[in-house]
Amino acid sequence: MKKFFILSIVTVFVVISIALVLLQASAPDYKLSILESANVIMLILSLSAFYLVTRQIGKPGGAFVRGVSGATFLKLMVCMVGVLIFVATNKDTLHKPSIFVLMAIYALYSTVETILLSKMARTMK
Residue 69: domain span = 2-124
pLDDT, position 109 = 92
Tens digit of each residue's pLDDT, the chain (125 residues):
678 889 999 999 999 999 999 999 998 888 888 899 999 999 999 998 888 888 877 777 777 788 888 888 888 899 899 889 988 988 888 888 888 999 999 999 989 988 888 887 777 65
pLDDT, position 1 = 67
Model pTM? 0.86
Number of folded domains that form the chain:
1
Please name the amino acid found at residue 9. I
The phi and psi torsions of 31 (rounded to 5 degrees) equal: -90, 100
pLDDT, position 91 = 85
- Rounded CA-CA distance 96/120 in Å is 37
CA nearest neighbour of 34 among 117, 122, 76, 95: 95
